[in-house]
Each structure stands twice: as C-alpha cells, then as structure tokens.
C-alpha cells in the first residue's frame, strides 16, 4: 500500500527555512454551559489574537470523524504518520522516553497509580497526582516485592506524577505478546478490569499482568492514597520510517514528559535536554533558543493544557493557555519561517477526558493566505480557509509553506 510519506520523501528538498510546530496538548475544549465560551475563548490571549490575524486557520481531526485519539496516535498523525497504519502502545512510548531499551519479545506497559476504595472500587485513576518523589517511593516498594514473576524478569520505572512504566522481559524465552485488554477502566466507581489475551501469544503476558496487579495491591495495602495500579497501552518494539528519511529534516523535540520524548525518539528526532519544571516553560524556551541554528524542524510540546482539562478544571486550563500566550513573543522573536500551533486532541474540562472534537490549527508563513481571523479559538478555526483536515495533512502543509517540497508530476 502506498504511503503519503513515500510521496513526501520523493518531493522533499533541502532549504534553509525553519519550521516550529507548537503542540498545546489537549487544547481543544467546550463551553461549560450552553452559549458559554470554551477555554480558548475565555482566555485572555492578546499575543495569540495578534498572531491569528496574520495566519491561516483550520480544524484537524487526528484519526477520523468521531474517533477520540490517544496522545500517541494524535502526535503520530501530526508528524505525518497514519495512526491507523503506524500503531504503537503507550507503554513503548513511555519506556523509550525514559531511556529504556526494548528488545524483541519484550512488552512495555504504561501504568497509573490509583486510589482504590472498598471492594477495589476505583476512586481516583490518578491517585491525586502524587509528587515525583512519592512516585519513586512507591516504585521502590514494588521493585522490592516484584523482581520477577513466574521466572519472567520485571522492570518498574518512575515516569512522572501518577504514571509509571513496567517492562516484562522475554529474557531468552518465548516472545511475549502485546495483544491484550486494559486493566484501566478509564472510569471511577467501578473495579479495575482483568487483562484478557486476544491471541495465544499474549496469554502469558495477560497472566503476568494480572499477577502483577494482585501483588501490587497487596504490597500497597497500607498506603492511604496510592494503593492500586491500572494498566493500558501494551506494546512491543515498534518500527517507523525516520523523520529524516521522510522529510529530509534535521528535527528536534522539546518536551518534558517521557511519553512525548519517546514518540519523538521513535521517529528519529533528537530529544533536547530541558531544564526546570513543566509549568514554567522557561527551560523549553531556553532549549529552543540555544539550539535554533542546529535544526530545520522543532517540535515544542506544552503539557498542562491537557492535564488541567483531564482534571475538569476549566479555570486552571484557561490559566495555562494564558501562560503560553505570555511566552509566545519569545518564540516569535526567533522568526520561524513557518509556525504552527495545534493540539494533539481535545480535552474539554466539561468532559474531563480526551474527546473526538477537532482541534484548531494555526499556520503562519510568508506564503500563507491570511484569514480574516481575530482569535485562535475553535469558532475562528471553524471559519478558517484551511478547512477541516486530517492530522496527517499538517506536515505536508508545513513543508509546502517552508518551500521544502518540489512539484509533483510534469
């Protein structure tokens, strides 16, 4: 089957122009009340408003109509990889993002620490978002209790806050399958699910996962808040065409959370070191500025617009959007030839989870046809000249605006 990446690879050409893609994670939202404002519309964003007046706007469906994307598929789509063809579980992304090397036959899975109540009912899927220090303490307890299961080596790693990663190693034995159901019900008020194998190769993995869950709950029984584990996103070693092969770009990732660094690494981006806390964003701007001369393409990730939406905190999400708006002039001062601002999915505070709603896309370049837009919001994007597009259209549009694509055909 022909892949769009093949066409872009054949058309790509080297130029000196620079592309900056800013991904405001989960930025799309909804009004909390009928005829109210979304988080983007409610935010005071003078810099984004001024930028919108110089740009093209549109909407992006990351996977397809009505399909709610996870962060992995959402980002793959933005990077030009069809998420229905290039499939990778959250576990591998998180594992690679924290520097864990996966071998053939291993299975990585992303975990949430959770709060369980009476009868194992899930009270909080994120255990109150514990500190990274508390996370490391819990991981140390689990490592001591779970060095292996039924002869299978088990590795447990801190990711951040409530997130952790487990790697089940094949270790010279039969390869482990990754085709099994989640433990995480992605809802409260119900019990964790039991992992079920979807093929024979994954039966052993499902047994290991269920044994891990039981052992972890026994180990953490005395913990008042972090007393359960939820798993989703099983994956073995993924393989992708590299970003350099597909686009001819020297690409760099500026992100803090391991999952996003892992995804960028899997597609061949250089992951730059970032100092400081995610909330401040200063370290990301510093990394971008210091490395501006070295790369053609930068992926700049902002996480907290998603986290606050997942928490159902409308006011906090508005504040995170405003914090990004305040630093936007520092990005504009670098004068990227092409600037894109987009989300990897919508996370409306009203739903407190990812949703299927299209995300707003903004592209500014010297060669773009400017819209009559006054703001970067869902309503303005809906009226924009870019229309409603698939996420995989974003990279070709950025390449074209950067004059990095030759003509197709005679």
- The CATH number of the domain holding residue 348 is 3.40.720.10
pLDDT (tens digit, 9 = 90+) per residue, 11-40?
A: 999 999 999 999 999 999 999 998 899 999
Rounded CA-CA distance 407/12 in Å is 9
pTM over cut 0.75: yes
Residue 48's pLDDT band (boundaries 50, 70, 90)? Answer: very high
- How many C-beta neighbours within 10 Å does residue 15 have? 14
Q: Comparing 239-243, 296-300, 395-399, which segment has the lowest mean pLDDT?
A: 239-243
Average pLDDT of every residue of the chain: 93
Q: Which of 202, 220, 235 is the last residue of a domain?
A: 235
Q: Are residues 107 and 80 in the same domain?
A: no
Rounded CA-CA distance 138/101 in Å is 22
Q: Are residues 213 and 255 in the same domain?
A: no
Q: What is residue 94's predicted lDDT score, i.e. its pLDDT?
A: 82
pLDDT (tens digit, 9 = 90+) per residue, 187-209?
A: 999 999 999 999 998 999 999 99
Q: Are residues 316 and 226 in the same domain?
A: no
Sequence-distant (≥ 6) Cβ neighbours of residue 19 within 8 angstroms: 249, 296, 297, 298, 336, 337, 338, 339, 340, 398, 399, 402
Q: Domain count of the chain?
A: 2
- Residue 10 domain-assigned? yes
- Residue 118 domain-assigned? yes
Sequence-distant (≥ 6) Cβ neighbours of residue 3 within 8 angstroms: 82, 85
| Residue-range definition of the domain harbouring residue 161 | 94-235
Rg, Å, the chain Cα set:
21
* Mean pLDDT in residue range 175-180: 91
Residue 288's pLDDT band (boundaries 50, 70, 90)? Answer: very high
Q: Are residues 356 and 336 in the same domain?
A: yes
Q: Is the pLDDT of residue 172 over 80?
A: no
Q: Are residues 69 and 47 in the same domain?
A: yes
Between the CA of residue 84 and those of 124, 243, 263, what are the distances in Å?
A: 31, 18, 16
Between the CA of residue 259 and those of 7, 233, 251, 278, what are the distances in Å?
A: 28, 11, 17, 14
- Residue 387 domain-assigned? yes
Q: Are residues 29 and 122 in the same domain?
A: no
What six digits make up the tokens of 164?
């952790």
Q: Are residues 81 and 169 in the same domain?
A: no
pLDDT (tens digit, 9 = 90+) per residue, 59-95?
A: 999 999 999 998 889 999 999 999 999 887 778 888 8
Residue 292's pLDDT band (boundaries 50, 70, 90)? Answer: very high
């Amino acid at each position: 089957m022909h892949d769009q990446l093949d066409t872009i690879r054949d058309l790509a050409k080297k130029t000196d122009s620079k592309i900056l893609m800013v991904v405001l994670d989960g930025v799309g939202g909804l009004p909390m009340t009928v005829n109210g404002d979304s988080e983007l519309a409610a935010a005071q964003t003078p810099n984004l408003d001024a930028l919108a007046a110089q740009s093209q706007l549109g909407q992006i469906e990351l996977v397809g109509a009505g399909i709610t994307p996870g962060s992995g598929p959402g980002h793959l789509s933005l990077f030009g990889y069809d998420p229905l063809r290039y499939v990778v579980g959250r576990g591998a992304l998180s594992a690679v993002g924290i520097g864990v090397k996966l071998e053939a036959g291993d299975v990585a899975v992303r975990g949430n620490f959770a709060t369980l109540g009476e009868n194992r009912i899930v009270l909080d899927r994120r255990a109150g978002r514990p500190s990274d220090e508390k996370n490391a303490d819990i991981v140390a307890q689990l490592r001591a209790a779970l060095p292996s299961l039924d002869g299978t080596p088990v590795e447990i790693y801190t990711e951040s806050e409530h997130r952790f990663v487990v790697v089940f190693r094949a270790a010279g034995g039969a390869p482990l399958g990754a085709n099994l159901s989640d433990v995480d019900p992605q809802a409260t008020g119900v019990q964790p699910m039991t992992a079920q194998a979807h093929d024979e190769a994954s039966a052993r993995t499902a047994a290991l996962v269920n044994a891990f869950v039981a052992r972890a709950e026994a180990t953490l029984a005395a913990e008042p808040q972090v007393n359960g584990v939820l798993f989703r996103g099983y994956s073995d070693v993924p393989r992708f065409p590299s970003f350099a092969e597909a686009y001819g770009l020297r690409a760099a990732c500026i992100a803090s959370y391991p999952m996003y660094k892992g995804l960028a690494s899997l597609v061949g981006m250089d992951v730059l070191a970032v100092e400081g806390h995610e909330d401040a964003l200063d370290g990301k701007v510093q990394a971008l500025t210091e490395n501006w001369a070295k790369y053609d393409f930068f992926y700049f990730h902002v996480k907290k617009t998603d986290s606050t939406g997942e928490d159902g905190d409308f006011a906090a999400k508005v504040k995170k959007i405003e914090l990004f708006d305040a630093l936007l002039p520092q990005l504009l001062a670098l004068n990227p030839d092409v600037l894109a601002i987009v989300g990897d999915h919508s996370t409306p505070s009203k739903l407190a989870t990812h949703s299927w709603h299209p995300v707003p896309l903004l592209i500014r370049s010297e060669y773009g046809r400017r819209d009559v837009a006054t703001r970067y919001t869902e309503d303005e994007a809906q009226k924009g000249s870019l229309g409603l597009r698939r996420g995989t259209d974003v990279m070709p549009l950025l390449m074209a605006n950067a004059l990095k694509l030759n003509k197709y055909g005679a």
